[in-house]
A and B are shown apart, each in its own frame.
Chain A
C-alpha cells in the first residue's frame, strides 16, 4: 500500500512540469472576487469569522455540496473547521472530512441530538443503548480500533473544547445484579441543537492527528453559532417544537393461550376446578389453556385478595403489553437574538425542553442558555468568548436491563395475555402502603407500577461548556492565538427503592454527587508566507495543557429504617460512603507545516508530542506524526468536459489512545466498609499508550457542473500496544492483567454519492446515497493467548476477540450435532445437553451500512426523506429468549395441542448409530429447552434492518401584511424512526445494553422499545 502511494506521488509531482491552461478545459476563469487571497485562504484562526447565516438560506444538503449552481472553484473554497479549531479550505485537505450542516440535527429534533446523525455520514456509527429518554449513544467512526469498547468512541469537540461523552454509571450491569443501570445522559447530549451551526466529521487519524493521544477514534468538531450582522430585522429567531412518541414495533406476541403451565384448565388460586394454576405456580408462563371464551375462575379485581367468586370468560387482552405504555410528549421553545457589525457581533440564545416519555412518570426537562461575543478590539487584536450553560433535571428516569425491578423485565415475566394492565394499579396491599407491595400474579418481578411510581431515579445537572480566546496579528503573516476552554458539570443523582421489593426488601436510598471538569489551554502561533507565487506555506507551532478532574461521592443507605422516607439519615445501618476521585493531566507541544503548490497540490505535515500523567513517570512521552497530501487533479490534468472537479487525497498518521489514571501501581480495594481485599486487575508499571497507524486514500469526483458527485474513501488502520485488561483465569491471582498487546487491523471503505437530478426554478431534487463497510480483524493478542473476552454475559454469550477473527465476534454454546449436522436429542425427546465448545454465531457489527437521503423542493415546499439500514451484524436477544421459554410469542404456538417430536437424532451408545428422534414432548418442555439462555445458537439473530429514519415536510409561511415584523416564518411536520423493517424478533436490532456506564453492542438485555417520533415545528424570524 505504501509503495502505491509513493508511486502516485511521483507521477503527480512530475506532472507539475506541464503548464496548465485553464481555458483549455472549457472552464470559465473565476471572477476577481473569488481570487484566492492568501490571508483568507490560508489557515485562519480567527474564531470570530462569521459564517453565512444558514438558517434561512435555501436549505442545503447535509453534505458538502452547494445547491447553488456555481463555478467550480468557489465550491471548494468552502472552509472546514478541522482539528484544534484550525480552519482550512476543503480542497486542501488530504483526509476525509465531512461537513454536516445544522439542519441535520434540527430537521427532526430528538432528545439527544447525536442520534439525529444516524445515516447522514458514511462511517459514522451511532449505537444507542435503548435505555431511556436520555437516549445516550455510543459514537464511533469507521471501525473499532481498540479492544476496550470505551476507547473507540469519537472525540467530541465543541468550539475547540473537548467535551466528555462519558456516562457515569450506577455501578451495576444489565443482568440480575443488585440494582440496574440507568441512562443519565452525558455532557454531549446537553447541547441545544438550535445552537449548532455545523459539524465536521473527522473520520480517521489522518484528520485528528493534532489531537495526539485522544485521536484514535476520530472526532466530531462542533461549531456553535456566533453573532453576525447579516439579515434584516431585529435578528430574533423563535422556534417552537412539539412532538409525540409512540412505540414503533413490537415482538410477535401470541394471543391464543393464556397463563399457566398446563392447558387443561385454569384457576386463579385454589377453586372447585382444581388447585391454583396462576400466580407463583405459572410464574409468568403462558402455556395455559386456549382462549375460546370458556369460563374459568379468574382474578377478581373487586376483592382484596383477588379471589374469584364466579367464573368469567377466558379471553385474550390484545393490549396486555401496550397498555403499560403511553404516548410520550416533548415540547421545546427556543429563542435566539443576534446582531453585529464589521467590528464584532453577539448572539444570545435561550431554550427550554420538557419531555414526558413513553412510560408513565418518566421524562426530563432541560434549559439551555448560550452567549457568544466576538469583537475586533483593534485591527490586530480580536477577542472571542462563548459560553453554553445547561440545566437538566428529571424526577424519574427508568431503570434498564433484566432485573426484578425493571419494567421491561416485568413485561416479559409478569405480563400475561389474560391479565389486564390496570389489575396491577393498586400496587400497595391495603393498609400496608409503603410497606408491602401488592403482586396479584407472579411474585418474582416487582409490581410494574411500583417500578414506575416508587422506584425513582432522579437527577439534577448543571453544566457549562465555554471558551475564551484572544488572537493577535503581529503582521498579516504572523498571528498568535491563545484559548482556554472548559467543560464543567455538577450532577446530583438519587435512587430510591421502596420496601418489599425483591432485591431490597427494606428499601434503599442512594445519592451521588458528581463533579467533572476538563480544562484545555492552547497557545497557537501561525506564520504564513510564500516562497514564490506558486509555492505558499504556513507553519504552526503550539502547546496545550489539559487538566481533567472527576469527583464522585456516593452515599448509600442499602436498608431503610422507616418505609417511605428517602434520606440518607433514614439508613438502618451506617450509611456507606463510596468516594471516587481521579485526576489526569496531559501536556503537549505540536506543530504543523502546510505547503501549497499552485493551489493544486497541498502537502501537510503535523507532529504532536504528549506527556501524560497516566503513563509511568519515566516513560510518559510519545510522539504522533502525520502527513497528508491533496491533489486537485482537475487543475493538474486535462480532464473530460463533464468532469467538473477531481481531487485525490492521501494521508498517513500515527496517533495514540491514552488510558485511565491509576493503572501503574497496586492498590487494595475496600470491601464491606471496614476491610480490604486484593484488586482483581493486575497493574502494569510499564504501561505504554495504544498506537494506531492509519493509511487513507480518497477520491472526490464531481461531474456535470456538480450535478453528480462521488466521494470514495478507503482506509487501513493498524492499532498496536492495546491497553488490554487481558482476562485471566482467577487461578493466576487476578481476573485480568493490564498489558500492552495485540494488533488490530481495521479497514474499510466509504462511498458518498450526491446527485441533483432535477434543478429547475420550481422543482429541485437532491439525493445523497452513502455506503460504508468496515472490518476490524484481530491479528495478534499476546504470546500464548489466543482469545480475549471483551464482554461476558454470564458465559451465555461472549464478545470475544480471537486471533484471526473479527472485533465483535459473538461466541456461545450451541446444540450437539451429528456428523450429518442434525441436532442430537437425548432419550427423553429433548435436545441433549449443549456442546460445551464455544462457537462463533455472528458478529456484533454490521457487514455494511447505507443511507439514502432525498430532498425535494417544489416551489417553496420542501420534503426530505432519509432511509437507512444495515446488512449483517448479529445480536443476542435476552428479550426473545425469555419470551420464548415462557410461551409468549407466536414461535411457541406449534405443538401446543399435540406435543412436539423434535427434529433430530438420538445417539445409541451400543450400536454407535444415530436414529431419528421419535419421542413426543410437550410444547412447554420443548421450547423451554430449545431457547434456554445458555443456547447462544438459538438466541442470536441477524440484525439487518431498513428504517425509514426521518421524514420532514417544510413550508415557509406567507408573511403577508405582517412582513414588517416577521421576516420569515416556516412550519414543518416531521417524523423519526417511522418504520423499521427487520426480522429481529425483539424490539429493535439497533440496540445493545448498558453495562453501568459502558454501552455494549451485540447483546440485547431487555431493551426499551424504540419510539416513533412525530412532531411539528414552527419557526419565526423577526
Chain B
C-alpha cells in the first residue's frame, strides 16, 4: 500500500510542474512590443518598391511606355489583357497592417507626427487600391484581431470622402515643431529638428495637401457629391496653412541609400530581364527623339541601327508572330538599377501639371496653364537629373499652344504629364481613363474584342476567401470585368 502512495505522489510531482509552462511558451526570438521607429523605415521601403514595380511591370506596358520582346501566347498588357492576379491587392493590404499598427502605437504613445505620417500612408495606399479596383474594403479592413475575417467592400465614393477627410486630419495634426522621437523616416528624414522647425514634417504636410489635390482632380467629374471645387479652392488659396509641393526638393521620393539593407530593388536584376525583357515603344521614344528630350539618355540607351547610333523603340500590341531581336532596341538604362531617386511616390512636377489643368478649368492657381505646364517639364527634368536645354520649351513639339481648344491644350498637358509619371505606380493609366489622354495607337495584333481596361479585376483567391462580399461588391459595381467603369469614371 505504501508503495502505491509513493507512486501516486511521483505521478503528481511530475504533473504538478506545469507552472513554468508560461515561460517555456514565450518566444525568445521575437519581441511582443515595439516602437514606431523600427517599423516605419522598412514599411516606407517596401511600399515604394511595390509601387515602382507595379509601374514597371504593369503600367509601362499597358500605357505603351515599353513592350515585351516577344509575346507568342496572344495575351499581355500591350494587347489589353489584364491577368486576374496582376494587381497589388495582396502587397498593399499587407503593408496596411503595419500602417495601422504605427497609427495605434503613435496614438498610445502620444506622438502626433507618427500618427500623421501613418494616416498619410494609409490614405496614399487606399487611394491607389480604390483607383485600381473600385470598391474595396476600407472600414472593415485590417481588423482580423476583432474577428472580422471577411470584410465588406466600401463604395468608392465613400472611400474618397473618407480619404479627403483623412488628408485634412493629417494636415492639422502634423506638428512642425517636433522631431520623430523614435526615428525611422527614410523619405524626408523628419527624425531631427533644424533650429526649431522640423523641415521633414513641413514636407510631409506638403505631401498631404498635394495628394489631396491629386484626388480632388481625379474625382472632379463627381463635383456635386463631394464639394470638389470648394475643396480645391481651399487648398489653392491657402498656401501657408495648406502648403503643397513648391520645388523638386519637396518631392516625395524615397532616395535609396544603396547600402545594406535598403538597396534599390533592381540593383541585382538579371541582364536578361532588365535589358532584353522589354524595350521602349515607338510611341514613347519617337516623341522623345523628335524633341531631343534629354531625359531619354537617363531612361534609356542607344543602340546601333543600320550603322547609326540611336534610341530605337518597338511596336506595341503586335501580332503573335512578331519577335524582336536581342540587342537591337533600346531598353532601360543600367544606371536606373542603382539610381537613388527611383523610389517615386509623388512629385512636384505632377503638382504643376495638376495646376495646369486646374488653370485650364478656370481655377485660380496664381499662374497660367502655360506657366504651370512649363514648370512641370522643368521639374521633371530636374527630378531625373537632366539639364533643360536652351530653347527646349519653344520646340514645336513642346511649345504650349495657348490658343488651342480646351481639348488640344489638355492633350498637351496630359502628354507631358505622362512622361513625368514614369515609375509612379498606376497614375498615368488612371489619368488616361479620366481624361482619355494621351491617345495611344492601337496595335495591329490586338484582337478586335479586346478593349482598353478601366480597372484590374479582383484577385481570384477572393473566390475562396471572401466569396460572399465579393459577390456583393461585384453587383454594386455592375460587374467584375477589366472594362467595368469606376465611380469617378462615370
Interface residues of A (CB under 8 A from B): 261, 275-276, 280-281, 443-444, 474, 478, 480, 502, 505-506, 523, 525, 541-545, 573-574, 579-585, 587-589, 611-614, 617, 620, 661-662, 664-678, 680, 682, 726-735, 737, 782, 784-789, 795, 798, 800, 802, 813, 826-828, 830, 833, 836-838, 909, 921-922, 924-925, 928-929, 932, 934
Contact = CB atoms under 8 A, between A and B. Distances in A.
Contact of B72 (A581, A612, A667, A925): A925
Given A443-B271, A574-B260, A929-B73, A729 B42 contact: no
Contacts of A922: 72, 321
A874 B137 CA distance: 37
A826 B447 contact: yes
Contacts of A587: 14-15, 17-18
A925 B149 contact: no
A583 B24 contact: yes
Contacts of B320: 828, 830, 921, 925
Contact of A581 (B18, B22, B28, B81): B28
Q: Most B CB atoms within 10 A — which of A800, A802, A828?
A: A828
Interface string B410-432: 00000000000000000000000
A933 B137 CA distance: 30
19 contacts: A280-B272, A506-B268, A589-B14, A611-B21, A661-B27, A668-B34, A672-B41, A676-B34, A729-B462, A730-B89, A730-B94, A732-B141, A732-B144, A784-B468, A785-B149, A785-B150, A922-B321, A925-B72, A928-B73
Closest 7 CB pairs of A and B: A733-B142, A675-B42, A667-B30, A573-B260, A787-B464, A732-B144, A613-B21
Contact of B97 (A582, A678, A837): A678
Contact of A732 (B17, B18, B142, B461): B142
Contacts of B32: 665-668
A735 B319 CA distance: 40
B308 interface: no
A735 B142 CA distance: 10
B75 A833 contact: yes
B449 A909 contact: yes
B97 A734 contact: yes
Q: Taking each of A612, A785, A922, which has the highest tally of chain B beta carbons within 10 Å of its own beta carbon?
A: A785
B81 A833 contact: yes
Contacts of A737: 144, 149
Nearest to B446: A828
A826 B97 CA distance: 41
Contact of A795 (B22, B75, B93, B461): B461
Interface stretch (B3-11, B210-218, B386-394, B401-409): B3-11
Interface string B7-45: 100110011011001101111111111100011011101
Given A589-B11, A737-B144, A826-B74, A784 B150 contact: yes
A678 B21 contact: no
Contacts of A585: 21, 24
B465 interface: yes
B460 A584 contact: no
Contacts of A613: 18, 21, 24-25
Interface of B: 3, 7, 10-11, 14-15, 17-18, 21-22, 24-34, 38-39, 41-43, 45, 70, 72-75, 81, 83-85, 89-90, 93-94, 96-98, 100-101, 136-137, 141-145, 148-151, 184, 259-262, 268, 270-272, 276, 319-321, 323, 325-326, 445, 447-449, 457, 460-468
Contact of A588 (B15, B97, B150, B465): B15
Contacts of A828: 74, 319-320, 445, 447
Given A733-B143, A830-B74, A661 B30 contact: no
Contacts of B447: 826-828
A581 B29 contact: yes
Contact of B261 (A502, A525, A543, A672): A672
Contacts of A280: 272, 276, 326
Contacts of B18: 587, 611, 613, 620
Given A525-B7, A541-B7, A670-B30, A838 B465 contact: no
Among A280, A523, A726, A732, max chain B CB count under 10 A is at: A732
B464 A800 contact: yes
A732 B142 CA distance: 4
B11 A731 contact: no
Contacts of A662: 25-27
Nearest to B137: A731
Contacts of A581: 28-29
Contacts of B45: 672
B464 A836 contact: no
A617 B21 contact: yes
A795 to B, nearest CB: 6
A677 B42 contact: yes
A443 B7 contact: no
Nearest to A506: B268
Contacts of B22: 617
A133 to B, nearest CB: 30
Contacts of B101: 678
Contact of A665 (B26, B39, B74): B26
A925 B73 contact: yes
Contacts of B24: 583-585, 613, 661
A669 B32 CA distance: 9
A523 B10 contact: yes
Given A587-B17, A784-B468, A523 B141 contact: no
Given A580-B29, A729-B93, 16 more contacts: A281-B325, A523-B10, A523-B14, A581-B29, A585-B21, A587-B15, A667-B30, A682-B144, A729-B465, A729-B466, A731-B89, A732-B93, A827-B448, A828-B74, A830-B74, A925-B321
Contacts of B468: 784
A680 B10 CA distance: 43
B7 A731 contact: no
A837 B461 CA distance: 9
B30 A732 contact: no
A833 B457 CA distance: 14
A801 to B, nearest CB: 10
Contacts of B26: 662, 665
Nearest to B273: A444
A400 B170 CA distance: 50
A826 B449 contact: yes
A474 B34 CA distance: 59
Nearest to A261: B323
A953 to B, nearest CB: 53
B94 A929 contact: no
B27 A667 contact: yes
Contacts of B464: 727, 786-789, 798, 800, 802, 838
B27 A673 contact: no
Nearest to B3: A474
A523 B7 contact: yes
A675 B41 CA distance: 7
Nearest to A831: B74
Contacts of B150: 729, 732, 784-785
Contacts of A670: 30
A734 B150 CA distance: 12
B27 A735 contact: no
A682 B144 CA distance: 8
A728 B144 contact: yes
A804 to B, nearest CB: 13
A909 B449 CA distance: 8
B460 A836 contact: yes
User: A478, A544, A581, A733 — which one has the most chain B CB atoms within 10 A of its CB?
Assistant: A733
Nearest to B142: A733
Contacts of B449: 826-827, 909
B156 to A, nearest CB: 15
Nearest to B267: A505
B146 to A, nearest CB: 9
Contact of B15 (A611, A732, A924): A611
Contacts of A525: 7
A260 to B, nearest CB: 11
